Amino acid sequence: MTPVLSGGDWLAVFAQYLLLSLLSIGGAIGTAPEMHRFLVEQHHWMTNEQFSASVAIAQAAPGPNLLFVAVLGWGIGGFFGMCVTMAGILLPSTTLTYLAARWGEARRNTRGVQAFVAGMAPLTVGLVLSTGFILGKPGYGNPWLLVAMLATVAVCVRTKISPLWLIGAGGLVGAVLG
């Protein structure tokens, strides 16, 4: 069931996604924990299961990593919700990326720009790890799910197997056992 949001709620969603856009270093998926807090824990517009399913479906679908933002927006308000979340997440980051790319390209050989680029890698890794932590929460109480999650991470890190195969296998196991 789609929640009914007021005009003020939509403004809050738009403002939240504007702010998250500025934190989406390395991709919007790094802001998923904050989206979870806002949509699930603070406003209760989605359940934890709906949030996790939305992210999983979007990640399994072909297309940009950003697709999960559209699916979350659709989940809270259909087409209009999708437009609000996508506009909020895209406007600031797109504008700043364009301006920063022009500025950085002109100064790419300077020590400061090279240090900035090198320093962004650990930040990006941390954001992606925090996303995995939030999305894995439903499995923490079940030791078999925890083992499956850790095995999946190990396979992703140590092999070149596409994550889509692992998502499909997880869905199949969930359908059989669930």
Cα distances from 32 to residues 112, 160, 169, in angstroms, run 30, 25, 23
3-state secondary structure of 1: coil
- In this model, does residue 1 exceed pLDDT 70? no
Residues 39-52, mean pLDDT to the nearest whole number: 95
pLDDT of 71 > 70? The answer is yes
Are 21 and 93 within 8 A, CB to CB?
A: yes
Report whether pLDDT(76) > 70: yes
Q: Would you call 118 helix, strand, or coil by DSSP?
A: helix
> Is the model's pLDDT at 138 over the cut of 80?
no
CB 45 within 8 A of CB 3: yes
- Which has the closest alpha carbon to 174: 52, 81, 78? 52
Enumerate residues 6+ apart whose C-beta is below 8 A from 115: none
Residues 99-129: tens digit of each pLDDT:
989 998 999 999 999 998 888 888 888 888 8
Q: pLDDT exceeding 90 applies to what percent of the chain?
A: 47
% of the chain at pLDDT higher than 70: 98
pLDDT tier at 146, thresholds 50, 70, 90: confident
CA distance 65 to 47: 22
pTM of the complete model beyond 0.95: no
Find the mean pLDDT for residues 139-145: 81
pLDDT tens for each residue of 8-31: 999 999 999 999 998 887 778 889
DSSP string of 124-139?
HHHHHHHHHHHHTGGG
- Of 53, 32, 35, which is closest to residue 43 (Cα–Cα)? 35
